[in-house]
Structures are given as structure tokens and as C-alpha cells.
Amino acid sequence: MRKIYLSLLAALLAMGLVFGVVGCGEEAANNNDTNVEQNEDANQEPEINEEEVLDQAIVNYYANLENASLISLEDFAALLEEDADSVLLLDLRAPEHYEQGHIEGAVSVPAAKIGENLEVIRANAEGKDVFVHCYSGQNAGFTTSLLNATGIPTRSLKGGLGKGLVRISRGF
């Protein structure tokens, strides 16, 4: 009888070992499948939420816009005195107002015509500091944003003609 118990015990242990190894083997196989899936996921490009990327670009662009894109009239006057040839000044006012008087060296490009003249502006802006001005600064602000967005670094004269631009004009 004892021999039967020992044989039975040995058979149970053997079955336990066999099932244990097979069970671990299945678990390992499942783990390998999971690892393969994880590796496949790692090899895939992450999904890009274009709306979030655009939103972040807009936030970054406007974060320091006032400081980055405006120049005081005094600083602009000093820049003109220092090296007027390094400046491209776009006068965004109506042509008839430009004809009545403008800052010496300013180029008349009415705000509504900026898009049509973008490549001409780009060519003339090469190697120069670009500035825009208008009556109040509103069109200049829009134009500054547009030109900066198209890769033409541009600053606006703070306040336009209504804030004393006449004081710094050369030949106005």
C-alpha cells in the first residue's frame, strides 16, 4: 500500500510540475505577446493632435507679442537717426494721406494691399528692420501679426500717427 501511495504522490508531483511549467509557459507566451504589442506601439509614431499643436503655437506667439512687436516712437526715432538705411518703414494709410505727408523713406503700402504685395515686401525687407505704422496702430498691429506669421520679422510703431508720430517724422 505504501508503494501505491508513493507512486500516486510521485504521479501528482509530476503532474504538478508538468502543469506548472505549461502554465508558466502560457503566461510567458502571453507576456511575450504583450511585449510584442508594446514594442509595436513604441515603433508607431505618436498621434499628434493638430488642434493642440496649433493652439500652443498661437499661445506662444502671442505670449510676449506686445513687448516683441512694438517699438516706442522715441526708440524708433533713435534708430532712424542712427541708421535710416537699415529700416524699411511701411506706411499703411490710404495713398491720398501718404501723399499729403509721410515720414521720409516710408513706403506706401495700404493695409488692404499687404497680401498682394507680400513678395515685394519680403524682397525689400531682406537685411532690414521692418516697421509698420498707420493712423492709430490697429492696422499696424494686424499687419505686424500677418508679416511675422509669414516669416518677415516686423514691429509696429506704438500708437501710430495719433500718438505723436509727427514729432519724429523727417520730412512729414
Separation of alpha carbons 155 and 118, rounded Å: 16
Rg from Cα positions in the chain: 36
Q: Of 10-19, 94-103, 135-144, give the lowest mean pLDDT range.
A: 10-19
**DSSP letters of 80-148?**
HHHHGGGEEEEE-S-HHHHHH---TT-EE--GGGTGGGHHHHHHHHTTSEEEEE-SSSHHHHHHHHHHH
Parse the chain into domains and list their residue ranges: 1-42, 70-168
| Residue 17, pLDDT score | 44
| Closest to 78 measured CA to CA, from 86, 68, 66, 67 | 86
The pLDDT tens digits of the residues spanning 89-124 come to 999 999 999 998 888 889 999 999 999 999 999 999
The pLDDT tens digits of the residues spanning 24-62 come to 444 444 555 555 555 555 577 788 888 887 777 766 666
Instruction: Note the CATH number of domain 70-168.
Output: 3.40.250.10
pTM (predicted TM-score):
0.59
